[in-house]
Amino acid sequence: MPTPHASFPSSKAFVFRILFGFSVLALLENQAHTAATKPNIIVFIADDIGWDDYGCYGNPAARTPNIDSLARRGRRYSQAFLTASSCSPSRSSIITGRYPHNLGPAAELHLPISPNLPWVPALLHRSGYHTVLVGKNHMSVDFASGKAPFEPRWDSVVKGKVPGNSGLESEWVDTLQSRPKDKPFFFWLASSDAHRGWDGDLEWNQSLYGPKHQPEEVRVPAYLIDDAATRKDLASYYNEITRFDYYVGVMVEALAKEELLENTLILLLADNGRPFPRAKTRLHDSGMKTGLIAHWPARIQSPGTTCDSLISSIDIAPTLMEAAGALPMPTAQGISFLTTFTDPKAIVRKHAFSEHNWHDYEAHGRAVRSEGYLYIRNERPNEPWQGPADSVASPSHQALLAARKTGELTPAQRDVFLSPRPREELYRTETDPLQLDNLSDKPDHAAVNKRLSELLDAWMQETGDSIPQNLSPDGYDRETGKALIKGPLQRGTWPGQPREAHKIDASGPR
């Protein structure tokens, strides 16, 4: 005859099982509550798209109906600036909320982030989010410089490239449909459009994207030559913008179909300016300004209203954390701009800082936007700021070279080749949108120039920035864009390294 313990649990075990059952139910209920109340978050990040190359930012030729619709139903930011006009430093800055020189090696193109620094997806994962990166990554961790925090960043990383679409957008909807339904999600949806190579032309699907853009329809920036080759170059660029826009629309439609759109915070931006001369890698607005759109029907009031407040891309990480109801990032140097969702006139910051470090060529430039001015300081003034190597090798750059030989360049076009450059530049951006009238040596602007110079000094000092003598050298020819050496480049000292700026969390003036 079996003992009672064989048929019935002891009182302790019985109580434990009851309590465990309640715990499981509470956990499941909490997960369901979390998934229902915490916002889903999507960051659409484009590759090399100029801020004014969307319809909602004033370009009538580039077709972006889905992005324009998000702007009409959400919030468009007119004064949003990146910390770097360079792919991986910009993305690494956004994902950590820190300036490039405070990231460790990632201050320079293609180098990793210091492992002591948390990323937004890791902290959101800790807060119960399902986190996925789809598409271009371009962000890595410097495991060699110390013990890495092994906290998971992404539940999944999806490359996104499929036959017929190298833009890396085709698996966005699949990622949404295959997610766990009991968790809120954070998706970093990173297109490779509109990076040079123009694979969009070869993979064009007219039934999806409409007709290709025609060269005669494009808008030629003042600092480019208006010729057939440049117009064709721009038309190909526009095609990739439209492909990116199409997949943004497909994803938004999928969210609406699953009744998720109302409580999904969408941010859309690009990592740097268009991949043309005097844009990408520049500290001027053509390189550093970004089109930034927020869409969140549950929280954004007065939809369609433009916000003119100054925003830095390091403000994105704190904004996402606050929107998610998560603890603030102690290492983030930015400020949440969530208040602008309810009040488009809310002031977020007074100053926005940017930097330009190695991207194919030796460089050290710093900038601050404040009081309606752009102040730039260039520690390598003897070299031109011609743009990255793929831009230098482009038909648009070659057209500029040809016009230079015949002496037919306008002042805006000559600036592409200007050497030496002024060590200091000062522009009144509202009245000089192309930043061609340097006021730094004008007596009536001496006080402003001095004030912003001192502000930049304070920011560099407080954040641990530095100007190493042995910066990474040129890797490419500045006239042709061809590689100067075979094999890996011997890098120099990155900015911030001598002062261990990756350990400094001070934000500097804001």
Q: What is the CATH number of the domain that holds 141?
A: 3.40.720.10
Asked whether residue 331 falls in the same domain as residue 381, the answer is no
Task: Find, among 280, 220, 208, the residue nearest to 245 by Cα.
Answer: 208
CB 144 within 8 A of CB 187: no
Please indicate, yes or no, if residue 408 is contained in any of the structural domains.
Answer: yes
CA distance 286 to 161: 29
Asked whether residue 206 falls in the same domain as residue 82, the answer is yes
* DSSP state letter for 289: B
* DSSP state letter for 441: T
Task: Give the model's pLDDT for residue 152.
Answer: 83
Asked whether residue 307 falls in the same domain as residue 161, the answer is yes
Task: Find, among 313, 316, 379, the residue nearest to 83 by Cα.
Answer: 313
Asked whether residue 312 falls in the same domain as residue 391, the answer is no
pLDDT by residue for the chain (510 residues), tens only, comes to: 333 333 333 444 433 344 434 443 443 344 444 455 899 999 999 999 999 999 999 999 999 999 999 999 999 999 999 999 999 999 999 999 999 999 999 999 999 999 999 999 999 999 999 999 999 999 998 766 555 556 789 999 999 889 999 999 999 999 999 999 999 999 999 999 999 999 999 999 999 999 999 999 999 999 999 999 999 999 999 999 999 999 999 999 999 999 999 999 999 999 999 999 999 999 999 999 999 999 999 999 999 999 999 999 999 999 999 999 999 999 999 999 999 999 999 999 999 999 999 999 999 999 999 999 999 999 999 999 999 999 999 999 999 999 999 999 999 999 999 999 999 999 999 999 999 999 999 999 999 999 999 999 999 999 999 999 999 999 999 999 999 988 889 999 999 999 999 999 999 999
Please indicate, yes or no, if residue 459 is contained in any of the structural domains.
Answer: yes
What is the model's pTM? 0.91
Q: How many structural domains comprise the chain?
A: 2
Please indicate, yes or no, if residue 397 is contained in any of the structural domains.
Answer: yes
**φ/ψ (deg, to 5) at 100:** -55, -45
Asked whether residue 191 falls in the same domain as residue 290, the answer is yes
The tens digit of pLDDT for each residue in 26-61 reads 433 444 444 558 999 999 999 999 999 999 999 999
CA distance 469 to 77: 38
Q: What is the H or E stretch that residue 46 is in?
A: strand 40-46
**φ/ψ (deg, to 5) at 39:** -70, 145
Please indicate, yes or no, if residue 209 is contained in any of the structural domains.
Answer: yes
Judged by phi (left if over 0) then psi (alpha if -120 to 50, else beta), residue 105 lies in alpha
User: Percent helix, strand, coil in the chain (nearest 5)?
Assistant: 35, 15, 50
Asked whether residue 317 falls in the same domain as residue 382, the answer is no
Asked whether residue 138 falls in the same domain as residue 274, the answer is yes
CB 128 within 8 A of CB 183: yes
The tens digit of pLDDT for each residue in 331-360 reads 999 999 999 999 999 999 999 999 999 999
In this structure, the chain runs to a length of 510
The two structure tokens encoding residue 161: 């490239």
Place of tokens 């403000």: 315
Residue 460's domain comprises 365-483
Cis before residue 395, ω within 30 degrees of 0? no
Asked whether residue 106 falls in the same domain as residue 235, the answer is yes
From the CB of residue 43, how many other CB atoms can be counted at a distance below 10 Å? Answer: 21
Burial grade of 157 (CB within 10 A; 0-12, 13-18, 19 or more): middle
CB 355 within 8 A of CB 101: yes
User: Strand 185-190 to strand 40-46: parallel, antiparallel, or no bridges (unpaired)?
Assistant: parallel
Please indicate, yes or no, if residue 496 is contained in any of the structural domains.
Answer: no
CA distance 60 to 54: 8
Please indicate, yes or no, if residue 466 is contained in any of the structural domains.
Answer: yes
Asked whether residue 338 falls in the same domain as residue 436, the answer is no
Asked whether residue 96 falls in the same domain as residue 195, the answer is yes
Interhelix angle for 228-257 vs 65-73, to 10°?
50
Asked whether residue 274 falls in the same domain as residue 402, the answer is no
CA distance 415 to 424: 15
User: Strand 75-77 to strand 306-307: parallel, antiparallel, or no bridges (unpaired)?
Assistant: parallel
CA distance 296 to 40: 10
Asked whether residue 407 falls in the same domain as residue 321, the answer is no
List Cα–Cα distances, 158 to 97, 174, 189, 383, 508, in angstroms: 23, 10, 10, 40, 36
106: helix, coil or strand? helix
Please indicate, yes or no, if residue 45 is contained in any of the structural domains.
Answer: yes
List Cα–Cα distances, 79 to 289, 291, 308, 310, 312, in angstroms: 7, 8, 6, 5, 9
Please indicate, yes or no, if residue 259 is contained in any of the structural domains.
Answer: yes
